[in-house]
Structure 1
Amino acid sequence: MTSALFGNTARLGLLALFLGLVGWLSPAMAEGYQVRPGDILKLEIVEDPSLDRALLVAPDGRISLPQAGTLKVSGLSVDAIGTAIAGKLAASFATPPTVSVSLQQLAERVPGTAGTPATTDIYVLGEANKLGKLALAPRTTLLQAFAEMGGFTKFAATKRIQLRRTDPKTGAPVIYNVDYDAIEAGQGSQGSITLRDGDVIVVPQRRLFE
C-alpha cells in the first residue's frame, strides 16, 4: 500500500509540474499579453450573441467586425480590445453592451524548418468558415483559395468580397472587389487571379434585405 501511495503521489507531482510548465509556455494566458497580427480573437457579446465570432488580427494590426468597422488592436491587451469594441458598439444598444474578448489562437511564431516547401501565406477575415492564415501552394488561384476556406457562413455577402494586397512598387494598398456568385456561375476571370504572399480576403456580412 505504501508503494502504491508513493506512486500516486509521484504521479500527482509530475502532473502539477506539467501543468506549471504548460502555464509558463502559454504567454497568451499571462497578464498584459499584447495581441499581434495573425492572432485570432474570440468575441462574445451577451446582449446579442449573433455578433459572436472569431476575429483575425490582419497584418496591419486591425480587426473588422459588423456595426463597428475596423479597429487597430495590435499591441493591446484583450481587456483593452473589449473596452474599445464596447465603445464602438455602444450606439447600437440601449445600454452599454457586455463584451468579452479572449484569445482563440496565437499566430505562428516559429519560422518554417529547412526543406519545407515554399508557400503563399494569405489571410482570411469575416464570414468564411475557415479564418486566419492559410498556407497555400504557390500560384494558387482565388477560386482555389475559396475552396480552401471551406465556403462561407450564412451571413456572407458573397457578391461583395474584397481581395486586398499591397502594391510591391508603391507600398499602397490595392482593393479588388470580387463577386463570388459570378465566379461560381462561370462569369468573368476573377477566379483565376493568382494570389500573392500577404494577400487578405475579406468576406463582409450581408446587409439587411441583401
Structure 2
Amino acid sequence: MSILRRLAVALFLVPFLSLVATAQDYRIRPGDVLQIEVLEDNTLNRSAIVLPDGQITLPVAGTIRVAGRSLAQVQADLAQRLAPGFATTPTVYVSMSALAERPASTPAAARTIAIYVLGAANAPGKVEVAPGSTFLQALAQAGGASPFAAKKRIQLRRVDKSGVERVYKLDLDAIENGASGGSTRLMNGDVIMIPQRKLFE
C-alpha cells in the first residue's frame, strides 16, 4: 500500500475511532431513549426512555438504574438479570436511540437547571429554576404542596457523578415552623417526591 493511500485510510479512520471512543465513554442521562434487543427472544425488544430518576423498567428484568452508566455496563447488567430465564446467558444489545434534549447555549446569566417534582404538588412536572435555587423556591414554582400531600415525608433524590442515588428526607411542616432544610440548594436533575397522605396521617 502506497504512503498516500495509507495516509488517506488513516485520515478516514481517525474520526470514526473518535466516535467509537466517545460512544463508549458516554454516560446515560435522564431523557435518553435506549434501544434494547435480546437476540434469543425478540418479544423483549423495545425502546425505553430513561425516567427523571435515572431508571428504566423492562419486563422480566424489572427496574434498573441506568443514569450515569455506559451502554456496555447496562448491556452486561441486563444480560445478567435476564439469564435465569434462558438456558445460557442471552445476547443483549443496548444502543442509543435518541439523546435527551439538551438546552440551547445561552448567556451564563440566563441558564437554568431542571428539577423534577413528582406526586402531590399542585403543578408537578419538570421545573426550570435558576442555579442556586433552594428547595422552597422550586416547590413554590411547582405550585406548592397539594392539600393531599404527606408534608412530613418529602424526599429529595439526587444522583451523584458516580451514578449513586442519595435520598434526603425533608419535613415541610417542620420547615414552615422554622426548621432547617428549606434553604437546601438544588442541583440539575434533582427529583422532589411528594407522597400522598395516608388516611389518618
Q: Which residue of 2 aligns with 1:184?
A: 176
Cα RMSD, aligned residues only: 2.8
Q: How many residues align?
A: 118
Per the alignment, residue 132 of structure 1 pairs with 125
Q: 1:180–1:125: structure 2 CA closer, same or farther, 3 Å change rule?
A: same
Conservation of the 8 A alpha-carbon contact between 2:175 and 2:182? yes
Mapped pair 1:36 → 2:74: no
State the shift of 1:172 in Å. 1.6
CA distance in 2, matches of 1:203, 1:166: 18
2:113 maps to what in 1? 120
Is the alpha carbon distance of 1:110 and 1:165 closer, same or farther for their aligned partners in structure 2, counting shifts above 3 Å? closer
Question: Secondary structure of 2:49's match?
Answer: coil
Q: Is 1:206–2:197 an aligned residue pair? A: yes
Query: Which letter maps to 1:59?
Result: G
Give the 3-state SS of the residue equivalent to 1:135 in structure 2. Answer: strand
| In structure 1, distance between residues paired with 2:102 and 2:163 | 24
Gaps in structure 1 of 5+ consecutive residues: 1-32, 39-56, 63-70, 74-107
**Cα offset, 1:209, TM superposition:** 0.3
The structural deviation recorded for 1:205 is: 1.0
Distance 1:167 1:35, change over 3 A: closer
In 1, Cα distance between equivalents of 2:47 and 2:100? 14
1:164 match: secondary structure: strand
Deviations 1:170-203 (A, max 9, x none): 432111110001111112x211110011110000
1:150 to partner: Cα distance: 0.5
Match of 2:188 among 187, 197, 204: 197
- Give TM-score scaled by structure 2 length: 0.51
Structure-1-length-normalised TM-score: 0.49
In the alignment, what sits opposite 1:111?
Answer: 102
Aligned equivalents of 1:166 and 1:109: distance in 2? 17
In structure 2, the CA distance between the partners of 1:197 and 1:163, relative to structure 1 (3 Å rule), is same
Identity of aligned residues (%): 45
Deviations 1:134-171 (A, max 9, x none): 11101001111111110122221011000010133x43
Name the aligned partner's letter for residue 54 of structure 2: P
